Structure formats: C-alpha cells, structure tokens
C-alpha cells in the first residue's frame, strides 16, 4: 500500500533568521545520512518562488514521494509547501515540517546546540515522513436549507438574515406563536416595548417566502452530519385553522379557565385562546393539555375554523445546518425565598413588566393586590450571584437594566410612589448606564446590601430588613409591593433538546459554545449553531445580534454548496475492532457509533462529524482506532527519533 519511502529534505535559511543560529549546511549534510533520505538541500528562502520550484524539480528528478521542509512553524507555511508538492504531483499530505525557526533558531542562543537540535528535529520529521500516507479530504454536498429552532427574537433574526441570503428556512417554534419572551418583555429603553421589536421581526418573516413557520411544533429526531442533517419535526394540532378571524366568540363559550402564562399568571385565559395581541400566526389555538373537547367552541364559531379531530403531523427535513435559539426560563424563586409565594403583592420582575405594559392585564396600570402601591421595592440579583441557596452563581445581565427601566417608568406614571431598589451592584453596562443617573434624578432610592435582605410578612404588610452598607446601618423598609428582579436560567425542557441535538451544556447549565472568543455561536458539533439566551443570559439586543452572528456562520458553512472535511479523522480497523464501545462515549462530537458488519458490532466513524482530536485513538484498547496523520506508529517513530533512537 505504502511505497518505499523516498524522502527529500529541504532546509530553509529564512535569510538569517535560521542560518544565523543553525549551521544549515551541516544539517543538510546530516539529513543525507538518515534512512530513506534521497536528497537534501538548503536554500535561502524555501517559501520563495525559486525555493518552491527547487522542491518541485527535485521531486520530479528523484521521484521523491515524501517531503520534509525544515523551516518555520507549520502554522506559517505548511499550506504553502503543501500546495507546492501537490503541484509536483504528490498528495499534499505527504509533507512533514520541521520547525527549526520558532522552535529552534529564534529560541536558542548557542549555535552549536541549536544546530544539534535542528538535526534532531529533522530526524524526527524524516521518521514521521517515512510513514506518512496520502490522505484525501472528503467533500459532501450541502442542503441549502436551515432549521431554526425557536421563534424568539434570536431565532427570528437568524431566520430573516438567512432567508435574505436566499437560504430556505424552517422556523420551528414550540409555542403556538412566534415572539418568545421578548414579546412579553414590556418596556425597553427609548420608550419601545418588546412587543414592538417582535412585531417588526414578525412582519419581515410574514413577507419572506423563504421562511416556513411552524408553530406548536418541535424537533423530535435529529441525525446526520454538517450539510446533511435529517430532522424530524412534530407539528402538534392547533385545532383552529386559517379561517379564524379572531372574533373571540369561541373564547366566550369555552368553559375551561386556566392561569395565563402569557401574562405570567397575572390573569386567566380559556382553553381556546389567543396568546397576545401581536401573536403570529393570527389564529386562535386550543390548549390540548386542558381542553375537554366539549365542542362549545365549535358551535360558537360561525366560520368553521375549529376542528377538534385535527391530528399532529410530522415533517422530515433535510437541512444543512441548525440554529438553536430556544431561549431561557425566568428564575422561579422557591416558596419563601424573600417571602415569595407568601403574599400576593410579592411579584417577579417579569410580572411587573406585564403590569406596566399597555397590552397587559391592567392595561398598563400598576395595580398590585387590587390597589396602586404607595411604596414599592425591588430586590436585585434574585436567583443570581449566589445570593440565596437556590441561586445560580452567574450574573443574569439584564435584570439591573430592566429593573431601572421599570423603576423609572413607575416614577414617570406615578411620581408619588416611593420606589426602592435594593442591590449588591448595579450592572447597567454600556449605554444603559444613563438609566442609573435617570433613576437617581427621579428619586428612586438605592439601597446597597452585601448580605441579602430579609422579607417579613406582618399584618401591616411587607417589611424588608437590610443592612445598608453605605450608611452602615440596619434599616427596615415597609412596602406595599415587592418586585423580585429574577434572573435567567436554562429552560426546563433543555435536557430533551440536548438529547436530541447532541448539544452539550456548560457548568452554568446553559448550552455551550465551542469557545466564547474563538468560536462564538458555534456548538461543539459542527453544523449546529446557537443564538440568543440559550447559551446564557442576554438582553434583547444581544440576542438579536447573536441571531445575526449565527446566521452568518451558517452562511459561511453552506454558501460554498459543499463541505470539506479535514483528513485527520479517526479510522477504524473493523477486523481488529471488538466493539468494546470505549471510543463511543469519549468522542466529543458523537461522531462514533456502532454498526453491524458481518454479524459483529464494530465502531463506525462518521467522517463528516469527526474533528480529528484523536482522543479515541489514544484510548482504543485494541489499537484498532487510528487517527490519519497521527497514527500510533507515526508518533512512536517521532518519539524514538526525538530521543536519539538509542544513539544518545
């Protein structure tokens, strides 16, 4: 299979960069003495046109089948020399570089010692080169279709960007409407509301024929590899079709009433309902979890829009990439944390946002427990920064800003209400820092704590006791209403998503990006991208940005029409493999599975998923799994050569 190695060694002076500290002629002469070396040359700049031509000529002249270039770091010119040997008819992976510049001439002062080291590095490279095999990159065509999971702001933004580039987008939302939590977010800065942002995005989606929206739908199966994933989508029945004109007659007749999650439980809704004013699609929906199928709504509907016999349907999609933008859950304080659940006037920030929103249950009036409070307090970092035993240790980023926006809103609407904000730190970063000043101007009272305050319920009402660290005094604040500024936590159903998509979560429990700085919005599995608060707390702007970022990453992957894999993948010798499964659980990319060959289960590497780390090869107890380009025998040969091969 492998030809008798005929190695050519080419040693670069790099001007004086190498030649000043390494006796290049001596190294070239030494190289000639090594096994399998046919020719050896040194030249002032190997990467120059002339240098590359020298390599090409020598390959042809001496019928070389392996090339060692001793020059700079492979990160510098490996691609250059690969191209050079390829143009001389060799497979470009029959090149091995010896790094005698960064690792040698630039790092050592003694010329004799540096020369000796350079010889060793060349010997190591020749040892490996003699065992190199031709490798092929594999190419796969890609499906120009993208699955976006989650119809919140991040998912919608990603879908719009991708559709505008011409990709076919399936936007799949678990709930009956697009919009996500941003639609319920109430006031943002600049007197805009979350619903306005959501409306704007929905309008763009409705107008775009490349986007196919599926609400009440979820991903149930996912397999394949980048460019060619197979996704099975289950679309749950809505029971109401496009004939619905939102007249609302059905809702009046419906006998079932439940807490309205679209108002965070501040109001009630029927089993047949319309989530909120800007909901899309603009059709009523029946909540099948609570509907008793009494048929009253069907009788009430004059348009024949309701069909209680509707069944779920499944869609099989072939998609090139997937964007996961499934968002977050608000932190839900356990009963008793800051007296939550013990008094009706203790609410969360998410509920307050609904109260102050003109589309909310009180049409924007701050009515808590039947009256407008005279004194209202916010406690920050609820559920965040280890303030209580059930808190997370991270900062949720948006709660400070959101608290101040709402505190200011209260002061604008009701200047006489006393507003207290109890905080550890105010993290209104960036432009939102002005909110802190505005709140001060509006006489919002800031109370700093280190030890979280205690909240007591007395017959007179709610009393907050706190040690104020600025004035260094224990103070007691009686209030009529208390808002807990809760943070963001991973979605409750996230584990199902992880199981289906092979995404993984980080220490904070959110879905993990490969690298925050080097590979943001990329999941460890190639072809899966992440947008919005699914990777951790984000505000609306940041989520939208992440949506755009994910879209551009998808476009980078799919725009060429094909994906090419690095050849340094793992490969199983199926004859040797005993199907012991050790490799399967170790693969960070779930690229390895078992498959049956001749009645035996053996490991199988999905090359398109394999990223080439080699951890399976290091563990394979049979030596059956080997990484191309980094096989055991190749590395062992380098080890032996590095130690002098016994000729110390």
In the region spanning residues 579 to 598, those forming contacts with other proteins, defined by CB under 8 A, are: 579-582, 584-586, 588-589, 593-594
**Closest approach of Cβ 12 to other proteins, in Å?**
14
Q: Rounded to an integer, what distance in angstroms lies between the CA atom of residue 423 and that of residue 379?
A: 6
Among 87, 578, 604, 606, binds other proteins (CB under 8 A): 578
- Chain positions 469 to 508 lying near other proteins, rule: CB under 8 A, are 504, 506-507
Measured from the CB atom, is 309 or 518 closer to other proteins? 518
Contact between 520 and other proteins by CB under 8 A: the answer reads no
CB 487 within 8 A of CB 399: yes
Measured from the CB atom, is 544 or 587 closer to other proteins? 587
The H-assigned helical ranges of 240-345 are 249-253, 296-300
Measured from the CB atom, is 39 or 580 closer to other proteins? 580
Specify burial of residue 73 (Cβ count, 10 A radius: 0-12, 13-18, 19+): middle
Beta bridge partners of 339: none
Distance of CA 464 to the CA centre of its chain: 40
Closest CA to 625 of 585, 576, 562, 590: 576
Binding mask 523-542 for other proteins (x = CB under 8 A): -x------------------
Binding mask 61-90 for other proteins (x = CB under 8 A): ------------xxx---------------
Among 24, 28, 69, 124, binds other proteins (CB under 8 A): 124
Measured from the CB atom, is 15 or 440 closer to other proteins? 15
- Chain positions 329 to 348 lying near other proteins, rule: CB under 8 A, are none
Measured from the CB atom, is 498 or 582 closer to other proteins? 582
**Closest approach of Cβ 520 to other proteins, in Å?**
13
- Chain positions 89 to 118 lying near other proteins, rule: CB under 8 A, are 99, 101-110, 113-114, 116-117
Q: Rounded to an integer, what distance in angstroms lies between the CA atom of residue 171 and that of residue 180?
A: 13
Among 129, 231, 577, 609, binds other proteins (CB under 8 A): 577
Measured from the CB atom, is 12 or 426 closer to other proteins? 12
Compute how many residues bind other proteins; rule: CB under 8 A: 73
Among 246, 457, 499, 636, binds other proteins (CB under 8 A): 636
- Chain positions 277 to 306 lying near other proteins, rule: CB under 8 A, are none
Among 38, 44, 298, 514, binds other proteins (CB under 8 A): 514
Measured from the CB atom, is 44 or 601 closer to other proteins? 601
Q: Rounded to an integer, what distance in angstroms lies between the CA atom of residue 68 and that of residue 81?
A: 10
DSSP assignments along 564-579, one per residue: EE-S--EEE-TTT---
**Closest approach of Cβ 487 to other proteins, in Å?**
21
Strand ranges, E, within 137-200: 138-141, 145-149, 168-172
Q: Rounded to an integer, what distance in angstroms lies between the CA atom of residue 591 and that of residue 276?
A: 43
Contact between 122 and other proteins by CB under 8 A: the answer reads no
Binding mask 602-621 for other proteins (x = CB under 8 A): ---------xxxxx-xxxxx
CB 419 within 8 A of CB 368: no
CB 377 within 8 A of CB 370: no
Binding mask 222-251 for other proteins (x = CB under 8 A): ------------------------------
Question: What's the distance, Cα to Cα, between the start and end of the chain in Å?
Answer: 33
Q: Could you give phi then psi for residue 117, rounded to 5 degrees? A: -65, -40
- Which span (157-165, 210-218, 239-247, 626-634) binds other proteins, by CB under 8 A? 626-634
- Residue 33's H or E segment, with its range, is none
Binding mask 549-568 for other proteins (x = CB under 8 A): -------------------x
Measured from the CB atom, is 347 or 611 closer to other proteins? 611
Residue 418 to residues 184, 375, 398, 443, 480: CA-CA distances in angstroms? 25, 5, 23, 8, 10
Structure tokens at 299: 């009788």
- Chain positions 4 to 43 lying near other proteins, rule: CB under 8 A, are none
- Chain positions 381 to 440 lying near other proteins, rule: CB under 8 A, are none
Q: Could you give phi then psi for residue 346, rounded to 5 degrees? A: -105, 115
**Closest approach of Cβ 592 to other proteins, in Å?**
9
| Dihedral angle over CA of 330, 334, 335, 336, nearest 10 | -110
Measured from the CB atom, is 198 or 577 closer to other proteins? 577
- Which span (232-240, 354-362, 369-377, 634-642) binds other proteins, by CB under 8 A? 634-642
- Which span (46-54, 385-393, 443-451, 512-520) binds other proteins, by CB under 8 A? 512-520
CB 509 within 8 A of CB 489: yes
Structure tokens at 466: 């706190």
Among 277, 515, 562, 595, binds other proteins (CB under 8 A): 515
Closest CA to 470 of 446, 438, 437, 442: 446
Beta bridge partners of 346: 482
- Residue 349's H or E segment, with its range, is helix 349-356
**Closest approach of Cβ 182 to other proteins, in Å?**
29
- What 8-state DSSP symbol labels residue 630? B
- Chain positions 169 to 188 lying near other proteins, rule: CB under 8 A, are none
- Residue 7's H or E segment, with its range, is strand 7-12
Measured from the CB atom, is 294 or 635 closer to other proteins? 635
Residue 377 to residues 118, 274, 406, 477: CA-CA distances in angstroms? 71, 33, 11, 9
Contact between 643 and other proteins by CB under 8 A: the answer reads yes
Contact between 627 and other proteins by CB under 8 A: the answer reads yes
Contact between 130 and other proteins by CB under 8 A: the answer reads no
């Amino acid at each position: 299979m492998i030809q008798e190695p005929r190695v050519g060694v080419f040693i670069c002076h790099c001007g004086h960069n190498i030649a000043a500290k390494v006796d290049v002629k001596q190294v070239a002469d030494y190289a000639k003495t090594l096994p399998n070396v046919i020719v050896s040359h040194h030249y002032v700049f190997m990467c120059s046109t002339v240098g590359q031509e020298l390599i090409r000529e020598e390959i042809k002249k001496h019928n070389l089948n392996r090339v060692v270039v001793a020059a700079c770091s492979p990160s510098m010119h490996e691609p250059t020399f690969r191209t050079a040997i390829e143009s001389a008819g060799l497979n470009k992976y029959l090149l091995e570089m010896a790094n005698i510049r960064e690792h040698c001439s630039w790092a050592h002062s003694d010329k004799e010692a540096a020369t000796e080291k350079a010889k060793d590095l060349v010997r190591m490279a020749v040892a490996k080169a003699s065992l190199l095999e031709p490798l092929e990159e594999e190419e796969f065509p890609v499906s120009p279709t993208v699955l976006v999971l989650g119809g919140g702001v991040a998912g919608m933004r990603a879908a719009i960007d991708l559709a505008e580039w011409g990709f076919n987008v399936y936007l799949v939302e678990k709930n009956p409407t697009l919009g996500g939590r941003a639609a319920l977010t109430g006031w943002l800065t600049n007197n805009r509301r979350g619903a306005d942002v959501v409306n704007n995005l929905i309008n763009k989606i409705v107008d775009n024929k490349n986007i196919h929206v599926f609400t009440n739908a979820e991903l149930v199966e996912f397999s394949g590899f980048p460019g060619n994933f197979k996704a099975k989508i289950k679309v749950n029945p809505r029971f109401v079709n496009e004939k619905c004109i939102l007249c609302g007659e059905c809702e009046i007749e419906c006998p079932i009433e439940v807490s309205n999650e679209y108002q965070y439980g501040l109001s009630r809704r029927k089993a047949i309902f319309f989530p909120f004013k800007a909901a899309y699609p603009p059709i009523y929906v029946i909540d099948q979890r609570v509907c008793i199928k009494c048929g009253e709504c069907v009788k009430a509907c004059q348009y024949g829009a309701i069909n209680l016999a509707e069944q779920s349907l499944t869609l099989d999609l072939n998609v090139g990439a997937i964007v996961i933008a499934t968002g977050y859950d608000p932190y839900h304080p356990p009963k008793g944390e800051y007296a939550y659940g013990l008094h009706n006037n203790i609410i969360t920030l998410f509920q307050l946002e609904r109260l102050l929103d003109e589309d909310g249950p009180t049409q924007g009036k701050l009515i808590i427990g039947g009256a407008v409070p005279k004194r209202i307090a916010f406690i920050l970092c609820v559920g965040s920064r280890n303030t209580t035993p059930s808190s997370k240790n991270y900062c949720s980023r948006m709660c400070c800003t959101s608290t101040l926006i709402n505190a200011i809103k209260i002061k604008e609407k009701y200047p006489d209400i006393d507003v207290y904000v109890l905080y550890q730190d105010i993290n209104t970063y960036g432009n939102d820092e002005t909110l802190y000043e505005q709140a001060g101007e509006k006489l919002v009272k800031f109370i700093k704590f280190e030890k979280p305050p205690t909240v007591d319920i007395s017959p007179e009402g709610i009393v907050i006791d706190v040690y104020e660290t600025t004035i260094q005094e224990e103070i007691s604040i009686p209030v009529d209403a208390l808002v807990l500024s809760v943070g963001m936590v991973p979605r409750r159903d996230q584990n199902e998503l992880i199981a289906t998509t092979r995404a993984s979560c980080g220490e904070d429990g959110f879905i993990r990006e490969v690298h925050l700085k080097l590979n943001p919005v990329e999941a460890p599995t190639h072809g899966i991208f992440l947008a919005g608060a699914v990777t951790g707390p984000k505000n609306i702007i940041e989520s939208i940005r992440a949506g755009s970022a994910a879209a551009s990453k998808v476009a980078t992957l799919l725009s060429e029409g094909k994906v090419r894999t690095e050849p340094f993948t793992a490969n199983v010798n199926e004859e040797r493999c005993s199907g012991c499964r050790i490799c399967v659980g170790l693969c960070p990319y779930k690229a390895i599975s078992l498959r049956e060959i001749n009645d035996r289960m053996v490991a199988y590497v999905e090359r398109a998923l394999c990223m080439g780390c080699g951890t399976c090869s290091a563990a394979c107890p049979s030596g059956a799994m080997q990484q191309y380009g980094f096989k055991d025998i190749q590395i062992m040969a380098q080890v032996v050569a590095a130690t002098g091969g016994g000729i110390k």
